[in-house]
Structure 1
Amino acid sequence: MKINAPGTVADVRAAFDRYEAALMADDVTAMDDLFRQAPETVRYGVGEVLYGYDEIAAFRRARGGSPQRTLGRVEITTYGDSFATTNAEFFREGTDKRGRQSQAWVKFEDGWKVVSAHVSIEGAGS
């Protein structure tokens, strides 16, 4: 198995960047398109636990946009040509607390899709 084949990393980075742009623009349609539309898709957020694409999509429609943020370090690792992880640090406007985002991506016939995501903020809940 080839780990971090440059072309595959570039493809995943492009999908990751599309998601980030959609998140900052509150482009719900684009965000929904980048998550696998299946009951197995999971997203754990700072204040929510969402099981299945339908719960994730409903959350996005009700949220009214994500807080604006700046990305810090982004790490992408690909395993073969159809599975990848992305891990990113981010900083929301108005706070110095670091956020973390982890995503698992799988390449399907219709492109790269997030199948699992987790977002957290350092010190949240403590």
Structure 2
Amino acid sequence: MTIEIDHPETRAELQAAFMRYETALVENDVAVLDELFLVAPTTIRYGGGENLYGYAEIAAFRSARSPAGLARRLDRTVITTYGRDFGVASTLFYRDSAPGKVGRQMQTWVKTVAGWRVAAAHVSIIPDPAGGEKT
């Protein structure tokens, strides 16, 4: 079986979902962030200081998170789809509050009857090996 990579319409849908997530993240729109995660006990989010297992833990984290300092700039964002209902979004990000550091985010997305949802996510921040953002 051959899997179609980056079907144009599917990729555009996932890119729109990713950007909706990004907007909700920097605006701390918890309702949209909750909506965009798959409601399942198998949904996982590894963050900068937390390991969250299941939708309930992720939603609890979001509702308790401080809205301060969420602004960021994205770089080298790559959206790849596999077939018509699975994809991965990867990006680097920079925050003014973390000079000399680069954030890395990867999300595994699945398309459900309700739309695209994050089934797994990983966020980490490391010293910037390049010494500054590349835009």
TM over 0.5: yes
Q: Which residue is 1:14 aligned to?
A: 16
Which residue does 1:98 correspond to in 2? 102
1:79-120 CA-partner distances (Å, limit 9, x unpaired): 000000000000012323110000000000000000000000
**What is the aligned partner in structure 2 of residue 89 from structure 1?**
92
Partner of 2:119: 115
Q: How many residues align?
A: 124
1:58 aligns with 2:60: yes
List runs of 5+ in structure 2 lacking aligned partners. 128-135
Looking at structure 2, the residues matched to 36 and 22 of structure 1 have their Cα atoms a distance apart, in angstroms, of 16
Unaligned runs of at least 5 residues, structure 1: none
Counterpart CA distance in 2 for 1:69 and 1:48 is: 20
Instruction: Choose 1 or 2 for highest CA Rg.
Output: 2
TM-score between both structures, scaled by the size of structure 1: 0.94
* CA distance, structure 2, for counterparts of residue 81 and residue 69 of structure 1: 30
- Matching residue of 1:67: 70
Between Structure 1 and Structure 2, the one with more helix by share is: 1
Q: Which runs of 4+ in 1 moved over 6 A?
A: none
Query: Within 1, Cα distance between the matches of 2:49 and 2:70?
Result: 13
- TM-score norm. by structure 2 comes to 0.88
The answer (yes or no) to whether the contact 1:105–1:115 under 8 Å persists in 2 is: yes
Partner of 1:40: helix, strand, or coil?
Answer: coil
Paired with 1:32 and 1:57, the residues of 2 have a C-alpha distance of 6
Cα distance in 1, alignment partners of residues 73 and 121 from structure 2: 18
Percent identity at matched positions?
Answer: 52
CA-based RMSD: 1.3
Q: How does 1:32-47 map to 2 (within 5 A)?
A: 32-47=34-49
Select between 21-30 and 56-65 the one with higher mean Cα deviation.
56-65
SS in 1 for 2:122: strand
